[in-house]
């Protein structure tokens, strides 16, 4: 006979991997970094390549946002700090989708 406590424990989701392990594994894939020196087409291609990697790894949106920030270089780190502050202040919120949309508005000419 299974107690209620044992049944509840069995229903728990699998534990999350430690973030340092996830980052190390992600970095071994040699993801492309974004320097901001790229053309509009290159910026769009960079984002599509990063999305492809995330899709292959089946990363959720929260993890995608955490990892993509590690790929920003130079002034782009400062750009994201400012952009994320603006997103919070305007109640849009910081999410993977808002990152992609804001990135495209800033770096990809339509």
pLDDT per position as a tens digit, 42-100: 999 999 999 999 999 999 999 999 999 999 998 999 999 999 999 999 988 999 999 99
The candidate with the shortest Cα–Cα distance to 76, out of 55, 46, 110, 109, is 46
pLDDT at 54: 96
Given a cut of 60, whether residue 2 has pLDDT beyond it is no
Q: Say how far residue 33 (Cα) sits from the centre of its chain.
A: 13
pLDDT at 74: 86
pLDDT at 37: 86
Instruction: Show the tokens assigned to 46.
Output: 């960079």
């Amino acid at each position: 006979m299974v107690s209620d406590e044992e049944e509840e424990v069995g229903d728990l989701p699998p534990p999350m991997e430690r973030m340092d392990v996830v980052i190390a594994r992600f970095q071994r894939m040699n993801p492309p970094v974004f320097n901001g020196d790229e053309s509009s087409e290159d910026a769009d291609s960079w984002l599509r390549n990063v999305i492809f990697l995330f899709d292959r790894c089946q990363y959720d949106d929260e993890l995608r946002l955490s990892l993509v920030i590690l790929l920003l270089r130079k002034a782009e780190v400062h750009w994201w700090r400012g952009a994320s502050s603006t997103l919070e202040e305007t109640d849009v919120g910081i999410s993977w989708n808002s990152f992609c949309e804001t990135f495209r508005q800033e770096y990809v000419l339509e």
